[in-house]
Amino acid sequence: MTSKTETPALELETDDPIAALDHKSIAVRAAACRDLTKMGRVEHLPRLAQSAGTDKSPAVRLGTVAAASDILSRRRLDGPGDALSEAERGAILELFKRVDPSKNPGVFSVFGTLDLSAGLSRVSIGLRDPRQEVRKGAGVGLLRLCISRSRQGDSALEAAVVEMLTDRRMRPDAIAEVALVCMASGFETALPVLERVDPGGVHQEVVDTAIDKLELAARRPVGVWLSDGRDAGEMRAHPVRPASVLVVRAEAAFQRDVGGAWRAVDLSSGLRRMFYRRAGTPAAGPALQGLGHTFHLTADDELPAFVDMLVPPASADWPKGVQRSEGAASLCDAISGELPGDRRARALLLADSGDFAGAAAELDEALSARKAPEDTLYLLGLARSAAGDQEGALSAWEACVSKARRAKDWYVVAARERLNG
């Protein structure tokens, strides 16, 4: 287990991914592309551009541009010291313009992640190409261009994309691709245009789905929304921005970044509703973008693990002076399960909101079930102590030590220190 300040090492398939791009084995070259997706840097782009146009394997050619676009996805929202200048982006564009889209339609993803008007122009040309695979690649490039938070609120981009829906040079499948981008990006101005578009057949089904999802934008996004710190479309093993939670109720909304404090937020402006498939998920789903994050609607089973990040149990102290937090209480209410892990998560949030008696009650219930999390007794002692029940706290810590299977576990060590202190 890594410490809080330690970044987990990346698991790579090759010792030297750049050198592996020259290996005679297609499998090894493909593995190098996957490694560069995870850890590649801007200085690797010229070599990737070379393989993107010349490798004998179509799979490897696609892998190289996927890696290049994923590298660029990590440079769209970084700090000023890390951002690529327009001149640097232009030079990268020139590198990849040499790649023939008919041999590697994935190159449009690179154009999309460059955040350049010239990149949009290249993608637009690809959407009108007579070859279907080229049009499909251009659709993916347009998606990657539009969903990043770097393009949130870009009305000029939205207008240009919506205008594509009326381009008579576009084939029905390309119209469907643009409709999907409008849906994914929350381009609400596309609604009246989509209602007039009639590409026919299965493509009309795509347009109808886009209309349905865009109509949801008028509704308040009630629920619990999580951000892992990554930008939409960003491929990064270890995000540089904090994870965050947004709890939206009918009458109020609250946000908290990991490592920060709860705050009430105003959702009346600057928030876009999106609907797209993020990396690692099987299907498209709702998303929100704003308040410094891209949030995704959470599933109930995701919340307990996130609460551990938000209120780390290893650093819990729960002094009596904690102010009641409406945000923490709202998130607590959203965890409705009765499993021990759910109760433990609610206990952490109740303690975080100043309700120590409520936290102790949840932990007691968790202990009455089978397979309660191993640190539950230690946390029960903290909750009782903060609620003023010192005798009950000592009893919980004594039980934690006596029942421990491993004396060196953090909660056993912590309980022993409490008893000896």
Per-residue pLDDT tens over the stretch 81-103: 667 889 999 999 999 999 999 99
250 inside domain? yes
317 pLDDT tier (thresholds 50, 70, 90): low
Helix (H) or strand (E) segment spanning residue 297: strand 293-297
Task: Tell me if 296 sits within 8 A of 278, measured CB to CB.
Answer: yes
- SS3 for 398? helix
Same structural domain, 294 and 374: no
Tell me the mean pLDDT in the region 214-219.
90
Domain that holds residue 234: 223-298
pLDDT of 337 over the 70 cut: yes
- Residue 99 falls within a domain, yes or no? yes
> Of 78, 109, 140, which closes a domain?
109
State whether 273 and 361 are in the same domain: no
* pLDDT value for 2: 35
DSSP codes, 127-172: HT-SSHHHHHHHHHHHHHHHHSGGGTT-HHHHHHHHHHTT-TTS-H
Q: Rounded to the nearest 5°, which phi and psi values hold at 89?
A: -65, -40
Is residue 202 one of the residues assigned to a domain?
A: no
* Whether residues 277 and 339 fall in one domain: no
Residues 15, 90, single domain; the answer is yes
pLDDT higher than threshold 50 for residue 156: yes
> Which CA distances in Å does 23 have to 18, 47, 49, 184, 396?
10, 14, 16, 38, 60
Token pair for 205: 């089904």
Per-residue confidence (pLDDT) for residue 1, from 0 to 100: 28
321 and 273 within one domain: no
Q: Return mean pLDDT, the chain.
A: 91
> Looking at the domain assignment, is residue 198 inside a domain?
no
- Please say whether the dihedral angle defined by the alpha carbons of residues 236, 240, 242 and 186, taken in this order, is positive or negative: negative
pLDDT surpassing 60 at residue 135: yes
Inside any domain, residue 408 = yes
Q: Are residues 229 and 327 in the same domain?
A: no
Beta bridge pairs of residue 333 = none
pLDDT band at 4 (very low <50, low <70, confident <90, very high): very low
Q: Is residue 50 part of a domain?
A: yes
253 and 336 share one domain = no
Cβ-Cβ contacts under 8 Å for 232 (sequence gap 6 or more): 147, 148, 149, 274, 276, 278, 287, 289, 294
pTM for the whole thing?
0.88
318 and 375 share a domain?
A: yes
Is the same domain home to 315 and 294? no
For residue 230, tell me if it sits in a domain. Answer: yes
Residue 302's pLDDT band (cuts 50, 70, 90): confident
Kindly tell me the number of DSSP H helices and DSSP E strands found in the chain.
19, 7
pLDDT at position 81 is 60
- Regarding whether 399 and 369 lie in a shared domain, the answer is yes
Instruction: State whether 289 and 327 are in the same domain.
Output: no
pLDDT at 323: 61
Residue 339, classed as helix, strand or coil, is coil
**Does 7 lie in the same domain as 103?**
yes
Domain boundary among 265, 298, 331: 298
Among the three residues 275, 298, 321, which one is the final residue of a domain in this structure? 298
Domain count, the chain: 3
- In CATH, what number is assigned to the domain containing residue 394? 1.25.40.10
Does residue 46 lie in a domain region? Answer: yes
